[in-house]
Amino acid sequence: MKRRNFVKKAGVGGLSTILFSDIVFNNLMPEDYLPLAFQEPDPFKMFQKDPGMVLLNDKPWNMEAQAHLLNDKVTPNKYMFIRNNGLIPDEINVSNWVVKIDGESAEQEKSYTLQDLKSKFKNYTYQLTLECGGNGRSEFNPPAKGNQWTIGAVSCAEWTGVRLRDVLEDVGIQPDAVYIAYHGADMHLSRNPNKESISRGAPMTKALQDETLLAFAMNGEDIPLAHGFPLRLVAGGWPASVSGKWIKGISIRNKVHDGEKMGGSSYRVPCETVAPGEKVADENMCIIESMPVKSLITYPKSGAMIDLGTPLKINGHAWAGEFEVGSMEYSIDFGSTWNLCNLQRPVNRLAWQHFDGTIIFPQKGYYEVWARATDSKGNRQPMVLPGWNPKGYLNNACHRIAVKVV
């Protein structure tokens, strides 16, 4: 992003919020002068992230959480991963922000201001799990190019907005509609205005679900800038790349959307399993839809020291794309035997579910606690890496933590 413009627009929180102090002699600062403090911006301060978050890339900004930071039932901004493909928009004017609905299968072209959306349609609030399709990529071998996410590219925040369905129906959907596509205001890294950094979408069935929102609030406040302020699409349970940020347009398409990062190996995996490193022809690649069943132990932090005889209470979250998690187990003997955890139902469809369990270790020494979720259809997390694919998507292997009993 152009940093000076970011500073201008940071008026959202104000310059001094980022610096955590006032600029003395601010009135004497030359008009176009960029204070040193912004020349090498601290992304943790700039995006109000916890210093425990891990920065993976600064061009574009990408940041992930660590498992123990995700312990909250509802993910606060400070622990939410950031995945950007392009440059965060630097000129956001909320008062004249419009979203245009168009496309071959739209009855008409129609634009809405933010105020139109908020007042014309009923507002809904859901907790929705968003996981980057590439979460877990760092483990694949041969390695896959892209951000080397470990386990931290997942969140479940509370989103408020209007149903995409209500808006699309207000515009009118023609019977030949197949797919919706989003268009965001973020610029391509090349700064070429004719290129989109990413423009994905989803089949009509997903677009028309109750929980698919055009959201204007996250956790009861304006959406943070990095997460799509002032308007984002939220399609829980699918690769988070479907949840377009900084939404300026939605197209109702009469074919599978062919925008940026819809083809090739982007967010697509071999339709049939392939050997690691194998070349896969384009026509044998399938678009990722529902994300696979997965879980995370968020307490304790890996490396915990426990006194022998003191029961250890573990807890975390589990999620299963479009489905519900049916059961949750842990193992302390490298997967030989498994014990059931308590598992809560989701607050609403597509929200992650919380689990806990109490472990009594038999003797002093080093242990690993492994966690494994099974979805309502019987699909279970693998103990080792699942099917290799060119871009390293869909790694839902069991999460493991180390524990020392002393």
Cα 368 to Cα 215: distance, rounded to the nearest angstrom: 40
80: partner contacted, choices ligand MTE, Mo ion, none (Cβ within 5-8 A by kind): ligand MTE
41 secondary structure, DSSP code: -
Strands (E), 192-284: 201-203, 213-218, 221-222, 232-234, 247-253, 268-270
**Residues in contact with 36: Cβ distance below 8 Å, sequence separation at least 6, in sequence order:** none
81: partner contacted, choices Mo ion, ligand MTE, none (Cβ within 5-8 A by kind): ligand MTE
Using CB under 5 A, count the residues that bind Mo ion. Answer: 3
Considering beta carbons, is residue 371 or 394 the nearer one to Mo ion? 394
Binding-residue pattern over the window 61 to 90 for Mo ion, x denoting contact by CB under 5 A: ----------------------x-------
Rounded-to-5 percentages of helix, strand, coil across the chain: 15, 35, 50
Binding residues among 118-157 for Mo ion as defined by CB under 5 A: 132
Binding interface with ligand MTE (CB under 6 A): 80-86, 130, 132, 155, 184, 186, 197-198, 227, 240-241, 243-246
197: partner contacted, choices Mo ion, ligand MTE, none (Cβ within 5-8 A by kind): ligand MTE
Considering beta carbons, is residue 157 or 371 the nearer one to ligand MTE? 157
> In angstroms, what is the minimal distance from the CB of 371 to ligand MTE?
23
Strands (E), 132-200: 154-163, 179-184
> In angstroms, what is the minimal distance from the CB of 285 to Mo ion?
17
Considering beta carbons, is residue 135 or 331 the nearer one to ligand MTE? 135
Considering beta carbons, is residue 83 or 294 the nearer one to Mo ion? 83
Number of residues in the chain = 406
Cα 286 to Cα 281: distance, rounded to the nearest angstrom: 11
Binding residues among 233-252 for Mo ion as defined by CB under 5 A: 241
> In angstroms, what is the minimal distance from the CB of 251 to ligand MTE?
14
**Residues in contact with 206: Cβ distance below 8 Å, sequence separation at least 6, in sequence order:** 212, 235, 238, 242, 289
Considering beta carbons, is residue 266 or 353 the nearer one to ligand MTE? 266
Contact of 311 with 360, CB cutoff 8 Å: yes
Q: Which residues here bind Mo ion, judged by CB under 5 A?
A: 83, 132, 241
